[in-house]
Chains A and B, each alone.
Chain A
Amino acid sequence: MTQPPVIEVNGLMRSYGGGRTLLGREKPVIHAINDVSFQIAEGETLGLVGESGSGKSTTGRAVLHLERPDAGSVRFRGTELSTLGQQGLKPYRKHMQMIFQDPYSALNPRMKVGRFVGEPLVVHGVDSGSSLQDRVAELFKLVGLDPSFMSRYPHEFSGGQRQRINIARAIALQPGFIVADEPITALDVSIQAQIVNLFQDLQDQLGLAYLFIAHDLSMVRYLCQWVAVMLRGRIVEMAPTEQIFADPRHPYTRSLLAAIPVPDPDRVRPDRPPFDVAANVPPREAPLIEVAPDHFVLDHQVQ
């Protein structure tokens, strides 16, 4: 990591449930994420992968404090966020944005897309009047949309265009860090490459850092400098991308990598090592150990 970190996460925890039901029964506590720690440098991308329910999205929301973590620390450019109140957080919200999987339900169907993209600028009092219009037009161009589309409604756009609109809104306040939660999963195949290229272009132009949550590992390999693998709420392995693909150490990472379907009919399918998630729940106390420079593996099953 050559750049200073934009985000430093330490020991993040978030659980749901607990307490009692109306009838007085105890509700079980589910530890959605447990002792999650990572850093993302300015202008870099960390890919977060793992099965559904492993805590990827919860991690994304907890880092942005869209959901308060129960414990742990999140620092944005050195400032501790966990101790700030809602008012104290507001100036930092400008710098940290989120992009969701379903580009349609993230949009307001009754709001013209130009207003939707400009809304954060108004809310944060950054821009108004004709300079706001100019700024929104500029944002449209930046994400590859014709500024004349500003007065249209969401239903007039295709899935890929809608995701571009969401991205335009997310970058409106010139954030330094964006959490992208499965941003290409819902898009048509012929559109996914367009959006991945857009993510790259914006990173180059604006110096953005991303937390890229995904289950398409080949896209993660292409887009991310770092990869973290989650299993049942814990990061079980984390390393520079090529390191983790070349030398996966945790059995779950291995089974994940072996499961990627490769678009080449001549490729001999690797043997898929069986991995029983239920039988391999990572213990809550096990530490991550550094098995090679910058390569961390949870210390319960290092191979």
Chain B
Amino acid sequence: MALLEIKNLTVEFDTPGGVVHAVNDLNYSVEAGETLGVVGESGSGKSVHILALLGLLPCPPGRIVSGEAWFDGRNLMALSDRDLRSIRGGEIGMVFQDPMSSLNPVLTVGRQLKEVLTRHTNLTGRALKARMVELLDIVGIPHPEARLSQYPHEFSGGMRQRVMIAIGMACNPRLLIADEATTALDVTVQAQILDLVRQLKHDFGTTVIWITHDMGVVAELADTIQVMYGGRIMERGPVRPVFHDPRSAYTWGLLNSLPDEGARTQRRLYQIPGSPPDMSNPPPGDPFAPRNPFATERCHREVPPLRDVGNMPGHKVAAWYDLPALLAAQSEKEQTP
């Protein structure tokens, strides 16, 4: 059963340079217990659509043109601020990229944890304190009891991000949304945080939306990958078929531009040409068409719908072309002199 279902979400920004089309008619759902990895670069709409459905989008300049986000039978987009506040931090936990700006520097970490817990649970007194200690302990912060009375500046970057995860997980959320939560961290700390999220999924069956630009993190953590570009979904499906048999030229390009694991075999990395699109003046058709060496005339003209592809259920692509056929033709051409 879908825990979250997003329907026809369109978000725009009014800027001096014109209207920025940040999210364009987005539709997808996340099943209960699933981990969805959302991949994209700047202008892909991966962060904006999440802020919009959580009611955290600054409006203006943002504007939600249309859309519904059904979470457990309630349309988040239609709820009052008050109702939304009781869901955020409670049933839906959030972890954002920059722990220093998400934590209040003049309040102790304990006070900030307490705020979330008293808002969303009935815990008081000794039980509340015990839960706070337990949470810091779960995220692997040593000496949790002493740490509660410390301020954010007394924590290292990795420890602060753990505090953010502790706050995000405080009320055993049914849905945890993390936006580039480990991007600023060292790889060793990132690995610990990923282990921790896996543990939480295992223990509590938490549903997770993990937004990142790192294909490696998605491969490790996610069941389903969703590749976004130009405010649209380019490809989506279970991680194995998407990584092994990508059908969007953008996904293919992203995977190919990573260095091979193992000894250096390539002289040059594959590079996707061009730059991310200017969403105040988006291309009329497939947003990736201007950078796509395989683009057909139709790609430049008409936005492709998301269609089923391959053998695995749930694997979908938005493309007018047939990538495997094009790649096969290309390698044939390279082999015949």
Contacts and interface: CB of A to CB of B under 8 A. Distances in A.
B28 interface: no
A221 B263 CA distance: 8
B192 to A, nearest CB: 8
Contact of A265 (B194, B213, B239, B291): B239
Contacts of B42: 159, 188
A222 B41 contact: no
A193 B270 contact: yes
Contact of B257 (A189, A260, A275): A189
B306 interface: no
Nearest to A255: B188
B254 A190 contact: yes
A263 B188 contact: no
A242 B151 CA distance: 43
Nearest to B240: A265
B220 interface: yes
Interface string A253-272: 00110111111111101001
Contacts of A174: none
B264 A272 contact: no
A161 B274 CA distance: 10
A163 to B, nearest CB: 11
Interface centre among A188, A221, A267 (most CB of B within 10 A): A188
Contact of B186 (A159, A215, A265, A266): A215
Contacts of B217: 261
Interface in B316-332: none
Given A52-B157, A193-B270, A265-B239, A259 B191 contact: yes
B199 to A, nearest CB: 13
A263 B220 CA distance: 8
Given A264-B243, A272-B191, A193 B276 contact: no
A191 B243 CA distance: 20
A79 interface: no
B3 interface: no
A192 B259 CA distance: 11
Contacts of B258: 193, 218, 263
B271 interface: yes
A190 B269 contact: no
A52 B270 contact: no
Query: Which DSSP category, helix, strand, loop or mixed, fits chain A's interface?
Result: helix
Interface in B222-273: 239-240, 243-244, 250, 253-255, 257-261, 263-264, 266-273
Contact of B220 (A194, A255, A269): A269
B243 A218 contact: no
Interface residues of B, number: 46
A160 interface: yes
B230 to A, nearest CB: 12
B252 to A, nearest CB: 12
A256 B268 CA distance: 25
Nearest to A159: B42
A268 to B, nearest CB: 11
B81 interface: no
A261 B216 contact: yes
A144 B71 CA distance: 47
Interface in B293-326: none
B213 A263 contact: no
Contacts of A193: 257-258, 269-272
Contact of A261 (B220, B270, B271): B220
Nearest to B39: A189
Nearest to A200: B268
Nearest to A274: B192
Given A259-B190, A259-B191, A267 B219 contact: yes
A200 to B, nearest CB: 7
B275 interface: yes
Interface centre among B186, B192, B214, B260 (most CB of A within 10 A): B186
Contacts of A260: 187, 216
B195 interface: yes
17 contacts: A51-B186, A160-B275, A161-B275, A188-B42, A189-B214, A190-B41, A190-B276, A193-B257, A193-B272, A215-B186, A219-B259, A258-B191, A260-B187, A261-B190, A266-B244, A269-B220, A275-B188
Nearest first, the 5 A-B pairs at minimum CB distance are A261-B216, A222-B259, A193-B257, A259-B191, A188-B41
Given A51-B188, A194-B273, 11 more contacts: A52-B157, A159-B42, A160-B275, A190-B272, A218-B258, A242-B263, A259-B190, A261-B187, A261-B191, A261-B217, A262-B261
